[in-house]
Amino acid sequence: MDESGRVVREIPSDAPTFSNLDPTTSDAQAMDPSKNLAIWGTNVAVLDTMATFRDFLRNFTKKYRMWKDGMTEEETRADPDSDTKEYVQMMQNMLTLGVTSLNLDFRNMKAYPPTHKLWQQAQDYPQDIITMMDQCIKDVMFELAEAEMARQRQSQQSQSSAPSARTRIMSSEPLMPSSDRSEPDAPTPRPEESNEIDWCAEVQKRSYKVRPFGLDKTVNMRELDPKGM
């Protein structure tokens, strides 16, 4: 500006404005909320937290807790249940029985190396972290539902492709003149097959909740779930 306040020369700016928003700049990428979500007032990334907990649900096995409790690798290898994926098995039962609550032993999270940090964060910010855990349970439950429906379809296809007993008997009968062959019985109408359960739809309409125990700090469950669901 000159002495009278008039603009003499405009200085170009790289600031991301509505008229100048280059999506390739680092500033524009930082403004993308889907890549920079965090719990309010903290640096706890939402997407990273959910990915870590989903990994825990899918891959935690009992041997991690055994090691944490002082057992040796030789002792865990001798235990046939050491490689059991505890929470996958638990959620498979939840899917079959229609249960919507997952009992989560926080000591298992402390024993599993990738979730040791999440174990501490969940106790520092329980209302936020446990809400994200509820969504993670639904995500993994949906994956299990898809896998179950795929197994059902494969089983039905294998059954339909197998030759029926009557077909095998008729094919083994000796050849004889058509005049001597008795007329085949009228086909018996097959009962209508029961509709298979749409497990994915069942998961979608349900709300899943974490029921934590084994925490170092006492957490009021009513504060985590005021509606009491």
Residues 193-211 have pLDDT tens digits of 446 788 899 999 999 999 9
Distance, C-alpha 197 to centroid of its chain: 19
**Residue 214 neighbours by CB under 8 Å, 6+ apart:** 105, 106, 107, 108
Structure tokens at 73: 């690798």
Amino acid 48: pLDDT:
92
Q: What is the CA radius of gyration of the chain?
A: 30
Helices (H), the chain: 26-30, 46-59, 62-68, 73-78, 86-97, 106-111, 116-124, 126-161, 165-172, 199-204, 221-224
Please check whether residue 156 is in contact with residue 107, taking contact to mean a CB–CB distance below 8 angstroms.
no
pLDDT over threshold 50, residue 2: yes
List phi, psi (to 5°) of 21.
Answer: -120, 95
Q: What integer is the mean pLDDT of 108-120?
A: 94
Domains within the chain, CATH numbers bracketed: 50-153+200-229 (3.30.1640.10)
Beta bridge partners of 38: 45
Q: What integer is the mean pLDDT of 89-114?
A: 95
Amino acid 120: pLDDT:
92
User: Strands, E, within the chain: which ranges?
Assistant: 101-105, 209-213
Counted residue by residue, the chain has a size of 229
Q: What integer is the mean pLDDT of 147-165?
A: 75
Amino acid 79: pLDDT:
92
Beta bridge partners of 175: none
**Residue 63 neighbours by CB under 8 Å, 6+ apart:** 76, 79, 82, 83
Amino acid 173: pLDDT:
52
pTM of the model: 0.66
Amino acid 164: pLDDT:
54
